[in-house]
Amino acid sequence: MKKVTIDGETLTIEDVAQVARHDARVLTSEKAKEKVKRTREVLERFVKEGKIIYGVTTGFGALGNVSIPLKDLKQLQLNLIRSHSSGVGEPLSREAIRALMLLRANTLARGFSGVKLETLSTLTQMINKGVHPIVPEKGSVGASGDLAPLSHMVLAMIGEGKAEYNGEILDAEEAMSKADVPTITLDVKEGLALNNGTQMMTALAALAVYDAENLLKTAEIAAAMSLEALCGIIDAFSESIHRARPHRGQIESARNLRRLVSGSQLVESGDDAIRKSKHPQDPYSLRCVPQVLGSVRETIGFVKGIVEVEINSATDNPLIFPEEGVCLSGGNFHGQPISAAMDYLAIALTTIGNFSERRTARLIDGNLSRGLPPFLISEKAKTGLQSGFMTLQSTAAALASENKSLAHPASVDSIPTSANFEDFVSMGPIAARKATEILRNTESIVAIELLAAAQGVEFRVKKPGKGTRIALSTIRKHVPPLKEDRAPYRDMETVRALIHDGGFASIA
């Protein structure tokens, strides 16, 4: 079993995927343990000295000016978690919960939060032994962190709320007991240290970026197969053209397209097209693949950089700096960096879907497909009696249209909370959830294009390229050609799952 060591500084998106999806074991570095213990000692000294510290010796939010007696400080933390466990909606997925817990543990391991080492240990044990708190997906505005989702996580840590263990939804106390994980009693600052931060939105963001990279590579494969099925013109992917407009993503996408169709007998040059009295240029959905998907490639790279910083950040408040001997209040919990990045990713993913659907529409249209049969069904199968790929394109169109609505940015919205004390919020969790939904829709859109392009290539008698040949073989290992009508939803889901699991990405 793969192991992932957290230290608050070096966690990667790949590590997040390994823990979330493949149950990699989580360890805490010795250096991080020492930092956690040192910070806790400093915090306890501050409390003994009678320092006034927001959220430790005071109330929260708009009640931050209310002093709390020393005897009530632990109760303050317990009340915080109970009162903020106010989420609604469907539970987050198992993988999202595991990612959320990992990121929270990694934040604590940075050594600025002031929790006891035993608290961090309980969280990592829950991950390793498969105790997954039930966390509703809605209820966070992403400003003072993901307060509601993280509070639901903490409820399980203290033996309240619900948790999933071995496939059963149990009372959290029972789940923890069965897994032999000790529950915790929240001490000074620990409730605030656990529920104040961006870990829900960032968990979704990390998984979305991981999947978006796979999806982009697959979208380039689908575009290459469509180019071949439509006997497209290769000139548009010439290195000279893209060096003349040297956006890195565009150059890389063009290079990838050239590799995928290398050796293909289906594509031709502009000169060949002119000799055959054909138009020497393709429509934009074929000719501009490097320009469009290249921009998506750069967007994903930008968003990935933001997320990689965030997963290794201290995002609670206040933060304790032992070397400086201070405890400072700030706003690292604010989700705007992730919110804006997820909106940007949502736009890029919507573009992939819009672009892919246009090629599918061309493939099934007998007036535009350059000799392919209408709806990609053989004339021997009696066109009219058989509908072929007709409604697959309708499904792609429906999903592409839905994506356009979902791509409306969440990060530009704000509703003040906490009696106007938290007067500008990020809506980061909404941005992250929308981007995730768009990603799933777009996986299905690209799956439909792959199925249509594979069908189209097989109607041509000539040999496809080296890369597209492998992609075609991959599809046919799981889905047979469409020779007569059948319910296509299984085929679509099979190929979508292959995309999601990286079944095509290595070809690119």
Question: For residues 176 and 505, which has the higher predicted lDDT (pLDDT)?
Answer: 176
Decide if pLDDT at 337 tops 90. Answer: yes
Percent of the chain surpassing pLDDT 70: 99
Write the single-letter amino acid at 299.
T
pLDDT tens-digit profile of 28-55? 999 999 999 999 999 999 999 999 999 9
| Mean pLDDT computed over 352-368 | 97
Round the average pLDDT of the chain to a whole number and report it.
96
What are the catalytic residues? 54
Distance CA 33, CA 31 (A): 5
- Cβ atoms 17, 96 nearer than 8 A: no
pLDDT-derived band at 381, boundaries 50, 70, 90: low
pLDDT tens-digit profile of 345-354? 999 999 999 9
Question: What is the pLDDT at residue 421?
Answer: 86
What is the domain partition of the chain in residue ranges? 3-197, 205-313+346-507
Three-class DSSP category at 307: helix
Domain at 205-313+346-507, CATH class: mainly alpha
Q: Look at the alpha carbons of 342, 347, 348, 354 in this order and tell me if their dihedral is positive or negative.
A: positive
The domain over range 3-197 is classified in CATH as 3.40.630.10: no
pLDDT tens-digit profile of 86-107? 999 999 999 999 999 999 999 9
pLDDT tens-digit profile of 300-324? 999 999 999 999 999 999 999 999 9
Q: Look at the alpha carbons of 441, 445, 451, 454 in this order and tell me if their dihedral is positive or negative.
A: negative
- Cβ atoms 502, 474 nearer than 8 A: no
Three-class DSSP category at 390: helix
| Mean pLDDT computed over 428-433 | 98
Question: What is the pLDDT at residue 279?
Answer: 85
- Token pair 């990121």: residue: 103
Question: What is the pLDDT at residue 434?
Answer: 98
Distance CA 469, CA 452 (A): 15
Question: What is the pLDDT at residue 271?
Answer: 86
Q: Hey, which bits of 304-373 come out as E strands?
A: 319-321, 326-328
- Cβ atoms 27, 6 nearer than 8 A: yes
Decide if pLDDT at 204 tops 80. Answer: yes
pLDDT tens-digit profile of 448-460? 999 999 999 999 9
Decide if pLDDT at 507 tops 90. Answer: no
Decide if pLDDT at 4 tops 80. Answer: yes
| Mean pLDDT computed over 333-338 | 97
